[in-house]
Amino acid sequence: MKNIYWRPRAVSRTALVLIAVGSLVGLLLVENLKTVKHRPYHDQKLAAAKVAAEAMERIYYARLETSAPMDVATDPAQSGMIGLPMSAVTSISGALSAKQTTVNPNFAAVIVEMLRRAKIEEGDVVACGLSGSFPALNICLYAALETVRAKPIVISSAAASQWGANVPELLWLDMERILYEDEIFETRSVATSVGGYEDRGLGMTEEGVRLIQEGIQRNEVDLLEVASFEESIEQRLQIYRR
């Protein structure tokens, strides 16, 4: 009868059995004697990500109350954080893939890491300039800043590019107000610009600018009224330096 398998004749059957047993013992030891080593600031990163996830869920329900439906083709996670391809309050074009990438609460943990690398400690003042184009990242930033107990000074732009916070009744200013009123965040913008080209809505329709201004009034945020982009920067710096 012919052998149905091949083995080297120089190695005995006993040696092969011992090698197999040793391999199994090694595998069991590796699987059962694991050592878990967390990255620095693990607890803060986890806490920030959890808060960001809670905030995004709240915005999902707020989106359901608007007239703008969620499209599974553009928002496969049905997060509610992906805006419209075009609306009256859309400032410029935007990349859908970029917006989809940001809908991840773990970015809050990434921002915690960045803040710690910048040596931001409890009580430190952080100047923040936010855009309505990336509401999910804004949420992650708020979660990270409040987790490390920094003191942010936030100035936002009300308009948004494609797929951002460009639902007229749910601008970024609306989102942060909802999260503030629901006591998820303590942070809100102290001022805002219209946004868009030159930071004053150039290229947008009169209706679009009107809807933006209504959103600013609705959320009771101070408006930066500027004649140029340079003036917008100067006004922002003055607010940060107060």
DSSP string, 13-63: HHHHHHHHHHHHHHHHHHHHS----PPTTHHHHHHHHHHHHHHHHHHHHHH
Q: Count of domains in the chain?
A: 1
Among the residues of the chain, which ranges form H helices?
A: 13-32, 42-64, 96-102, 107-117, 135-147, 172-181, 206-218, 229-241
Q: Is residue 116 part of a domain?
A: yes
Q: Is residue 1 part of a domain?
A: no
Is 70 exceeded by the pLDDT of residue 4? Answer: no
pLDDT of residue 115: 98
pLDDT of residue 12: 75
Is 90 exceeded by the pLDDT of residue 36? Answer: no
User: Residue 88 is part of which domain span?
Assistant: 42-241
Is 80 exceeded by the pLDDT of residue 48? Answer: yes
Q: Find tokens 């107000």 and name the residue.
A: 177
Q: Is residue 15 part of a domain?
A: no
Q: What is the mean pLDDT of residues 31-35?
A: 76
pLDDT tier for residue 6 given thresholds of 50, 70 and 90? low
pLDDT cut 70: percent of the chain above it: 95
The SS3 call for residue 106 is coil
pLDDT tier for residue 9 given thresholds of 50, 70 and 90? low
pLDDT tens digit sequence for 75-92: 998 999 999 999 999 999
Q: Is residue 193 part of a domain?
A: yes
Q: Is residue 4 part of a domain?
A: no
Cα separations in angstroms, 20 against 25, 26, 28 = 9, 10, 12
Give the span between the Cα atoms of 215 and 199, in whole angstroms. 16
pLDDT of residue 182: 98
Q: Is residue 141 part of a domain?
A: yes
- The whole-model pTM stands at 0.85
Q: Is residue 71 part of a domain?
A: yes
pLDDT tens digit sequence for 121-165: 999 999 999 999 999 999 999 999 999 999 999 999 999 999 999
Q: Is residue 94 part of a domain?
A: yes
